[in-house]
Every structure is written in structure tokens, then in C-alpha cells.
């Protein structure tokens, strides 16, 4: 019988018809593939019912199974209604993994509605960090048929005893918003959990076919995304791509004249006037900023411009209290709010129906992120998403034009999946040991099948097993170590205390030390970094969640505040790495530079910035995409060397250090380094030994790895990476915000472990992982090499001038300086001491605040 003739299919179609709906082709395709036993990935724009493509597939399958069984029973005349056979088997059928807790509530509601209307007696449950203890107990007795869960909670399930009972009737695992999980360690957690559940089923129910599906937005490496989720050769797989295009309109907010836009900056406040009319004419506007600090500032600016917005304007970001955020989200739903200033905390998530306009302030740095944000408006099928781009400086208008082109040509970034995350693997193995215990041979086989650990070597596995059982390898005997032990053939954690501690620390999100902010009169406002609080004195004011607060004291690990009488105050800077321009956007950007002067485009933004480009062409040169521009500028500050690879600040920074190092080999010279997303600057007091002849050699990809190691402080970078690794692998306990760590006598820091392993256990795999992560994520060696190859093939244009150009100006202003120094430690200390003395006697210099990047 074909699917379309089946009873379940007809029933679902009939129900859709009643609601005046018709399934999209990609949805029926998904049902068909599902019925045929496929696993796979659904790729469709937001607002077209991606959820239903898979949820209904499972429902149709269930309805058909029931119909079949009833048919068999009806034939059997001897059967009685009271027979056990008539009863449908209950228990978990579908696991629905979502990256965000906030999504779960609405998903569950939607699924329950479907079940009710189709008269399917399924329960839909939610399990994540917000689930109450009583609800969890209820689930333990009777699992719901559908469980919406986070990767962390899946691991927590595996950390329980007699895990298999939960999965006895499991049919399918769906990973929703898979593009979000892919590329993070949480994705690796999902991969591992799936491998175990699949393994358990194979063991106990070998005849059962477990389907694994993902739902993903468009990304550059969609095939790989499927391979990561379903690496299994025994499962047939398919990618279902919706043949529907989401209409997106991108408009730039332009000032009346180009001179009103600064050459450099990151706030864009001057355009606030232009933003107000857009807010007025829209139902609800989401205003996205790149950083939490920027969000706080924009919230205040808008209120200052129009006091009537008070009560209709809200601010939403990751450091705002959970309850408060919930209230804001509900208010967006009900349409009470006119506008919300937000960071990426609202990138994902439930549909906000009243939102019809989205504004992006400043460069979104990547195409995927921009489109995701655009999609937050006009959520229903065939509705148009409208997004306004508000530039913070003139050159960002070129980015707007580049984004438009990328959106048109669907040139969207890839998400690189994480591999060889030993920290996650160690956590996972201890999780299994805390649960039912594990058989190392079996688990090695399962782990090796996952995408993340495909390249895992037996000796690496042995090292990890030793690490969790004996502490270290035989050379560095770890006496008295105890954690995982072999009991009746299985590796287990025996100590209840250790098991409890481990369960509390399952997860791969490591947050900074945050401290809660609370009103004296009660009520939480949000969280700020501990380091920010330590600088506060009683009576000082700061802004959080759009409120001006007066610091009173720290009590019981909480910042106590009251409302301040001041109108403005400093906003806390939440630390975090800045997001770098993606290489996709960089390359389109280079192309747009061509088009601006040639006028071979129809972007109003490029017309608008033309005067700036003409100025650049007059005093220097506008690089074409097959050219590589270097500006040598001599001012009273010294000798400046500007180069423009357009590779994003991260790669530009490493390239700057590399070139500084190579120049230092020509003659001893010291530089200070600055960079932004477009280019970098080397500044020296002496002339820079550079000419047409040696320039290509300087930017050569030959000997790259060695020169990188010699030029940057790789140890420092690895040490920073090790912070997360130490937490995830269970060496360091991450306290909860506002809570003391219970085991104070076991507290230590990641830095301490980094030192100890460096000194006494050089072969530690976690140490190696830290260096690998630094090399591939921080230094992005492959991208750097590609950029150098491109530069080799380009025509180098060297311009000598005596004044700053429009291109170099933002680098001059925006960047935080870094020093390239080959001085030895002792000298450095001497110099720093001398500098510090100078500083305290001199007037206070203006400090550039480091902005955070919201995650």
C-alpha cells in the first residue's frame, strides 16, 4: 500500500483540510521517506512548518501501525475488547532534541494540539534544566510518548540506572535547529547520546529500525551536517530541501548626507532619529545589536529620544534575569511591546507573531546570522521578512551591499563540526559509568562510529580510559586515584558523592563567573561579571536591563542594588571574544570595493559611500579584488604599515603578528599592532624594512606553522581554551551563579591544572586538545593559509602617504592595541613597573572599553 492511500495519511490530510491547510511538498516528501525507513535532514526556511514535516511523519506512521494492528485483531474473531492486544503500547516513541529551553514550551503546546485534534492518546513531555523534580519523577514512572529535550538532559538520562527501559519503544530521534548544535561541543554531546541510544536498541531490539532526523536552516555544508548527525552506514539517508524561497527585503538606514556618518565607531547613535519612524510605523520591531553593552546603550538612547516609548520598549539579553526575559517574551507575543532591543538571545526561538520589522545595528559579521535575524519578522509562509540595516560607520554600508548579494546568491557560511573533543568524551564516559556502567570495547566501537571521533586512535582511547580509571598513564603513576572502577565486568562510578557531583556538572556550556543582581527590596534583575562587580564601590551606579542601579553591597554572593536617581551610568562590559567577519562576507566585500568606483552595481549603499571611495582613491587607492593594498604612512607617531586582507579581525590579528615577526627577522624592530575586520596596522618608531621586492616573501605561506608558533603566544591562547576543557572534563567545578561551590576543599582553577599538566604530564591529551583548539579555532590556520595564497596571486599595490586614509581610519580608532615583544620576562617586568608608575602620575587616559559578544 502506498503511503498516500494509508489510513494515517488520509486522516492527517483530512485534519489539515479542516484547518484550511495543505501540506507543502517537502512535508509530504518527509512523510514518504520516513515511512520508507529513511533517516535524514530537512532543510526549509523558517515559518513553513519544519516541525510538522517530521512530527507528522511520526504521527502518520503511528496511526498506520494502529490501523494495521486493529485490522489483524478484527480478523481474529476470538479476540475480546478487553484483550491486552487492544491496548497500544505506551512509552517513549520520539525524542525531540532542541538547543534552547525556551523553544520547548511552545513546541510541546503545538504537538499536544495536533495529538488532541487527531485523537491520538500521546503524552508530550519536556525535560530540561527547568523541569521540576516532580515532573521528572512522573516521567520516571511513565515516560511520555514524545520527549522534548536538550542534549544535556539526554546525557542526564544516560546517567540514570536502568536507562534502557526508557528507550524500549523508541522509533525516532529528531535534532531540531541542528545547524545551531553543529559546530559546538553540545553537538558532540548529541552525537554521543545518539550513538549510545542506537547501540542500546541494537543490543536489546535488533529488529527495530531507529530513524535519526535533523532539521536545519540553510548552511554552506548541509551534506556534512547530515553526515555528522547520521554517520551510520546501515541507515538509508536523504536530504529534503524545501523548494520554497523566503522573501527577504533588506533596506539600509541612510543619513541625509555621507558626512553625517562617522568614518569609524561602533554605536551609530547619530542615526537614532531615523530609527524612530520605523518603530512608529511597525507593529513590533526587534532591534538586534552585536553586544550586550551596545544593547543597553541603545535602549537608553531610544528612551532619551522619545520618552513616550517608556513602557513600550524592552531590552532582552543573556544577562537579564530569566523571569524578566520570560515576561518580555510573553509581552512580545501579546503585542504589548512596540520594540525590543536585543542581542543574539532572540536570534532563535519561538515565532513572535506581532513582529513585522527587524533592525540590525552594525555589521552582523556573517550572512547566516543576518538572514536568521531577518527571519524573525514575517514568520508565516509567503510573508516577506523585512530587515533594516543601521550602519555604525560609513564603510559598513559596503557590508550591507555585500550581505544583499550573499542573500541573493545564497552564499551562506558553513558550520564546522567539532571533532576530537576529548573533554566531552571524558565527561560522557563518566556519565555512562555513573549510570548503568559501560563495557569499554562496546563503547569504543560506538564512539568510533560518530563523526566527532572517527579518527580516534586506540592509544588515545587507552589514554582516556586510564585517565578516568587510574588518573594518569603508567609513567606518571597517580597514587590513591579513584573514580571509575571495573565492577562485574562493567566500568562504574561507585561513590555516590562523586556520582552526584558529576551529574551536577554535565554539560558543555562554560560560563564566566557571573554574579546575580538583586534589589534590596527583592526581585532579581540579572547577572553581571564578577570582575565588573569587584571594581564597584558603594554608591556607584551602573545600567542593567535598561535600569540605572545603585550598587549597595555584595551579600551572600549577590549584588544588592536599589534604583538610582541618576539618569545615566556606565554599563557593564561583559567579556567575551568578539565575533569576526566570516570569510564568505569578506570575499564579497572585496568584490563590492571593485564595483563602487566602477559603478557596476545597483546598490544605493554603494552610491552613498562613493564620495568616501573617491577620497580614498585620491589620497591612496581603492583595492580591486585581485589587488592587495598596503599603505605606508609616516606621521609624527611613527611609521605605520596598513594592510587590508579583509579576513575578519581574528585572522587579521594573527597575520599581523606573523608579518611583525617576519619583519623582525630582517632587522630588530618592535611594533604595536592594531586590527579590525578589514585590515591591520603595524606601528613602529623606526622605518619599516619593506619594499616591492620582499613583500610577497613576507606574506608567503611557506613555513607558516612554525612561524605562527614563533610569532604568537600560543601557550596563552591554549591556556584560555583550557578553561572550558577543564570544566567539561570535570577537573574544575563551575559554580552556579550566586551559589557557593559545596566542595570548597576540592576547588582549584583551570590555570593551575594547565600549569601542572604542562610541568608534570606533557602527554596529557586535554593539553593537546587545548593547543589544537587554539590552532584551528583561534588562529584558524587553514583560513590564514588560504588568505596568504590569495595574496600571493594578487597584485600588490603599495601607497606611500603622509596622512590617514578613509580605509585605515577605522583601524586606527577601533582597535585594541597589542604589542609584539621579544623582550625577556625580567625586562618586561621592569618596563611594566616603570610604565605603571608613569601611569599613576599622569592624567587618566581614556580607556577603550572592550565590548563583549553575546552568545
Partner 1 sequence: MTINCREEALILSKEKAIYWAAKRMLIISDLHIGKSAHFRKHGLQVPDAVGHTDLRRLSRLMAEFDAETLLVTGDMFHNKINSDANAFLEWRKSYPELRIVLIKGNHDALKNEDYEALDIEVYQKELLCAPFRFIHDKPKEFDEYYNISGHIHPGVVLYGRARQQLKFPCFYFSDTCAVLPAFSVFTGLFMIKREVGDSFYAVTPEKVVKV
In 10 A of CB 198, how many CB atoms? 21
# residues contacting partner 1 (CB under 8 A): 44
Helix, strand, coil shares of the chain, percent, nearest 5, are 45, 15, 40
Kindly state the smallest distance separating residue 470's Cβ from partner 1, in Å: 9
Which CB sits closer to partner 1, 793 or 825? Answer: 825
Which CB sits closer to partner 1, 242 or 770? Answer: 770
How do 146-149 and 94-97 pair as beta strands?
Answer: parallel
Kindly state the smallest distance separating residue 248's Cβ from partner 1, in Å: 39
Which CB sits closer to partner 1, 18 or 825? Answer: 825
CA 209/CA 779 separation, integer angstroms: 42
Instruction: Please provide the size of the chain in residues.
Output: 855
Whether the CB-CB separation of 292 and 298 falls below 8 Å is answered with no
Choose, by CB under 8 A, the member of 239, 312, 448, 478 that binds partner 1. Answer: 478
Which CB sits closer to partner 1, 513 or 829? Answer: 829
Which CB sits closer to partner 1, 11 or 815? Answer: 815
Choose, by CB under 8 A, the member of 36, 203, 756, 763 that binds partner 1. Answer: 756
Phi, psi for 757 (deg, rounded to 5):
-65, -40
Closest C-alpha among 335, 347, 121, 316 to residue 217? 347
Which CB sits closer to partner 1, 322 or 481? Answer: 481
Paired strand residues for 548: 543
Kindly state the smallest distance separating residue 487's Cβ from partner 1, in Å: 15
Binding residues among 319-338 for partner 1 as defined by CB under 8 A: none
Choose, by CB under 8 A, the member of 471, 611, 737, 738 that binds partner 1. Answer: 471
Kindly state the smallest distance separating residue 839's Cβ from partner 1, in Å: 8
Binding of partner 1 by 575 (CB under 8 A):
no
Helix ranges restricted to H, 551-670: 583-598, 604-619, 649-666
Q: Residues near 141 by Cβ (< 8 Å), separated by ≥ 6?
A: none
What's the Cα-to-Cα distance from 486 to each of 80, 160, 448, 468, 567, rounded to whole Å? 50, 18, 22, 11, 63
Whether the CB-CB separation of 241 and 67 falls below 8 Å is answered with no
Binding residues among 783-822 for partner 1 as defined by CB under 8 A: 816-819
Paired strand residues for 541: 550
Binding residues among 736-755 for partner 1 as defined by CB under 8 A: 743, 745-746, 748-749, 751-753, 755
Phi, psi for 529 (deg, rounded to 5):
-70, 145
Kindly state the smallest distance separating residue 476's Cβ from partner 1, in Å: 5
Kindly state the smallest distance separating residue 498's Cβ from partner 1, in Å: 5
Choose, by CB under 8 A, the member of 164, 280, 327, 481 that binds partner 1. Answer: 481
Closest C-alpha among 574, 572, 575 to residue 542? 572
Choose, by CB under 8 A, the member of 730, 765, 774, 851 that binds partner 1. Answer: 730
Which CB sits closer to partner 1, 132 or 497? Answer: 497
Kindly state the smallest distance separating residue 684's Cβ from partner 1, in Å: 14
Which CB sits closer to partner 1, 30 or 484? Answer: 484
Kindly state the smallest distance separating residue 849's Cβ from partner 1, in Å: 12
CA 370/CA 288 separation, integer angstroms: 10
The b/e string for 665-702 (b: 16+ C-beta within 10 A; e otherwise) is eeeebbbbbbbbbbbbbbbbeeebebeeeebeebbbee
Binding of partner 1 by 457 (CB under 8 A):
no
CA 313/CA 303 separation, integer angstroms: 8
The b/e string for 465-484 (b: 16+ C-beta within 10 A; e otherwise) is bebbbbbbeeeeeeeeeebb
Q: For 362-415, list the strands marked E by DSSP.
A: 385-390
Choose, by CB under 8 A, the member of 249, 487, 520, 832 that binds partner 1. Answer: 832
Region binding partner 1 by CB under 8 A among candidate stretches 408-416, 543-551, 556-564, 826-834: 826-834
Q: Residues near 279 by Cβ (< 8 Å), separated by ≥ 6?
A: 285, 302, 309, 338, 339, 357
Closest C-alpha among 138, 148, 51 to residue 95? 148
Paired strand residues for 800: 632
Which CB sits closer to partner 1, 330 or 830? Answer: 830
Q: Determine the angle formed by the axes of helices 151-158 and 422-434, rounding to 10 degrees.
A: 40
Specify the residue for cell string 622605518.
687
Kindly state the smallest distance separating residue 835's Cβ from partner 1, in Å: 6
Kindly state the smallest distance separating residue 481's Cβ from partner 1, in Å: 4
Whether the CB-CB separation of 541 and 562 falls below 8 Å is answered with no
Region binding partner 1 by CB under 8 A among candidate stretches 132-140, 195-203, 628-636, 828-836: 828-836
Which CB sits closer to partner 1, 227 or 473? Answer: 473
Which CB sits closer to partner 1, 616 or 729? Answer: 729
Binding of partner 1 by 835 (CB under 8 A):
yes
Choose, by CB under 8 A, the member of 532, 699, 757, 775 that binds partner 1. Answer: 757
Binding of partner 1 by 486 (CB under 8 A):
no
Which CB sits closer to partner 1, 498 or 799? Answer: 498
Binding of partner 1 by 482 (CB under 8 A):
yes
Specify the residue for cell string 490530510.
13
Which CB sits closer to partner 1, 77 or 745? Answer: 745
CA 640/CA 663 separation, integer angstroms: 13
Which CB sits closer to partner 1, 255 or 472? Answer: 472
Site residues, partner 1 (CB under 8 A): 467, 471-472, 476-483, 493, 495, 498, 672, 730-731, 743, 745-746, 748-749, 751-753, 755-757, 759-761, 816-819, 825-826, 828-829, 831-833, 835-836
Amino acid at each position: 500500500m502506498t503511503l498516500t492511500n494509508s489510513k494515517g495519511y488520509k486522516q492527517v490530510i483530512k485534519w489539515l483540510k479542516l484547518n484550511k491547510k495543505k501540506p507543502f511538498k517537502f512535508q509530504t516528501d518527509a512523510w514518504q521517506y520516513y515511512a520508507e525507513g529513511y533517516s535524514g535532514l530537512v532543510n526549509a526556511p523558517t515559518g513553513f512548518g519544519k516541525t510538522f514535516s517530521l512530527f507528522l511523519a511520526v504521527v502518520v506512521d503511528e496511526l498506520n501501525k494502529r490501523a494495521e494492528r486493529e485490522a489483524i485483531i478484527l480478523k481474529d474473531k476470538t479476540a475480546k475488547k478487553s484483550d491486552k492486544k487492544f491496548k497500544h503500547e505506551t512509552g517513549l516513541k520520539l525524542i525531540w532534541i532542541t538547543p534552547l529551553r525556551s523553544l520547548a514550551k511552545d513546541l510541546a503546546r503545538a504537538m499536544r494540539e495536533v495529538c488532541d485534534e487527531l485523537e491520538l492518546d500521546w503524552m508530550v513531555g519536556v525535560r530540561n534544566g527547568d523541569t521540576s523534580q516532580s515532573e521528572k519523577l512522573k516521567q520516571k514512572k511513565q515516560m511520555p510518548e514524545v520527549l522534548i529535550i536538550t542534549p544535556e538532559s539526554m546525557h542526564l538520562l544516560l546517567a540514570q540506572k536502568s536507562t534502557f527501559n526508557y528507550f524500549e519503544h523508541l522509533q525516532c530521534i529528531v535534532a531540531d535547529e541542528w545547524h545551531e548544535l553543529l559546530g559546538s561541543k553540545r553537538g558532540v554531546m548529541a552525537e554521543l547520546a545518539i550513538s549510545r541510544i542506537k547501540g542500546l536498541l541494537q543490543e536489546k531490539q535488533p529488529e527495530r529500525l531507529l530513524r535519526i532526523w535533523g532539521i536545519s536552516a540553510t548552511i554552506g555544508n548541509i551534506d556534512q551536517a547530515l553526515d555528522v548527525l547520521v554517520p551510520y552506514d546501515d541507515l538509508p539517508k536523504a536530504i529534503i530541501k524545501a523548494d520554497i524561497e523566503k522573501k527577504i527585503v533588506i533596506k539600509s538606514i541612510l543619513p541625509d548626507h555621507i558626512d553625517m556618518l562617522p568614518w569609524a565607531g561602533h554605536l551609530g547613535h547619530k542615526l537614532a532619529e531615523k530609527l524612530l519612524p520605523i518603530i512608529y510605523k511597525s507593529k513590533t520591531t526587534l532591534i538586534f545589536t552585536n553586544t550586550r553593552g551596545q544593547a543597553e546603550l541603545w535602549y537608553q538612547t531610544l528612551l532619551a529620544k522619545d520618552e513616550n516609548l517608556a513602557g513600550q520598549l524592552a531590552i532582552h539579553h543573556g544577562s537579564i534575569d530569566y523571569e524578566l526575559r520570560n515576561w518580555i517574551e510573553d509581552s512580545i507575543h501579546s503585542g504589548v511591546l512596540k520594540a525590543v532591543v536585543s542581542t543574539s538571545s532572540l536570534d532563535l526561538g519561538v515565532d513572535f507573531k506581532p513582529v513585522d520589522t527587524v533592525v540590525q545595528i552594525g555589521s552582523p559579521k556573517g550572512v547566516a546570522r543576518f538572514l536568521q535575524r531577518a527571519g524573525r519578522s514575517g514568520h508565516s509562509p509567503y510573508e516577506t521578512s523585512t530587515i533594516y540595516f543601521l550602519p555604525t560607520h560609513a564603510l559598513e554600508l559596503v557590508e550591507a551591499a555585500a550581505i544583499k548579494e550573499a542573500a541573493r546568491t545564497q552564499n551562506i557560511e558553513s558550520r564546522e563540526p567539532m571533532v576530537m573533543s576529548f573533554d566531552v568524551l571524558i565527561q560522557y564516559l563518566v556519565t555512562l559509568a555513573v549510570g548503568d556502567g559501560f563495557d569499554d570495547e562496546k563503547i569504543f566501537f560506538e564512539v568510533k562510529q560518530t563523526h566527532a571521533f572517527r579518527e580516534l586512535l586506540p592509544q588515545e582511547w587507552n589514554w582516556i580510559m586510564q585517565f578516568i580509571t587510574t588518573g594518569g598513564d603508567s609513567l606518571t603513576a597517580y597514587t590513591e586515584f579513584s573514580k571509575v572502577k571495573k565492577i562485574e565486568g562493567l566500568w562504574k562510578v561507585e561513590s555516590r558523592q562523586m556520582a552526584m557531583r558529576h551529574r551536577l556538572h554535565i554539560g558543555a556550556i562554560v560560563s564566566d563567573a557571573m554574579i546575580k543582581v538583586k534589589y534590596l527590596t527583592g526581585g532579581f534583575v540579572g547577572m553581571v561579571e564578577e570582575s565588573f562587580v569587584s571594581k564597584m564601590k558603594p554608591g556607584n551606579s551602573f545600567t542593567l536591563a535598561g535600569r540605572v542601579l545603585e550598587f549597595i553591597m555584595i551579600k551572600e554572593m549577590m549584588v544588592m542594588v536599589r534604583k538610582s536617581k541618576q539618569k545615566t551610568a556606565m554599563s557593564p562590559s561583559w567579556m567575551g571574544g568578539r565575533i569576526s567577519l566570516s570569510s564568505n562576507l569578506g570575499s564579497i566585500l572585496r568584490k563590492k570595493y571593485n564595483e563602487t568606483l566602477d559603478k557596476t552595481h545597483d546598490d544605493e549603499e554603494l552610491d552613498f559611500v562613493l564620495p568616501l571611495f573617491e577620497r580614498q582613491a585620491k589620497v591612496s587607492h581603492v583595492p580591486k579584488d585581485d589587488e592587495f593594498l598596503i599603505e605606508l604612512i609616516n606621521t609624527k607617531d611613527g611609521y605605520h604599515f596598513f594592510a587590508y586582507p579583509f579576513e575578519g579581525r581574528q585572522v587579521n590579528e594573527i597575520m599581523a603578528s606573523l608579518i611583525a615577526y617576519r619583519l623582525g627577522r630582517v632587522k630588530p624592530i618592535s611594533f604595536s599592532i592594531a586590527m579590525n575586520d578589514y585590515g591591520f596596522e603595524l606601528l613602529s618608531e623606526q622605518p619599516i624594512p619593506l619594499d616591492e621586492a620582499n613583500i610577497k616573501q613576507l606574506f608567503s605561506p611557506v613555513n607558516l606553522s612554525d612561524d605562527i608558533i614563533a610569532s604568537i603566544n600560543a601557550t596563552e591562547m591554549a591556556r584560555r581554551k583550557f578553561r572550558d576543557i577543564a570544566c567539561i572534563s570535570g577537573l574544575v567545578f563551575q559554580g552556579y551563579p550566586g551559589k557557593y561551590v559545596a566542595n570548597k576543599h576540592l576547588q582549584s582553577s583551570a590555570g593551575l591544572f594547565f600549569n601542572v599538566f604542562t610541568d608534570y604530564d606533557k602527554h596529557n591529551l586535554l593539553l593537546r586538545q587545548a593547543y589544537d583548539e587554539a590552532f584551528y579555532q583561534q588562529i584558524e590556520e587553514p583560513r590564514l593559509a588560504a588568505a596568504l595564497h590569495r595574496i600571493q596571486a594578487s597584485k600588490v599595490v603599495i601607497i606611500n602617504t603622509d596622512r590617514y586614509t578613509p580605509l585605515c581610519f577605522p583601524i586606527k580608532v577601533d582597535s585594541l592595541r597589542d604589542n609584539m615583544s621579544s623582550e625577556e620576562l625580567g625586562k618586561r617586568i621592569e618596563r611594566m613597573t616603570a610604565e605603571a608608575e608613569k601611569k599613576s602620575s599622569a592624567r587618566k587616559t581614556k580607556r577603550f572599553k572592550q565590548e563583549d559578544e553575546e552568545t
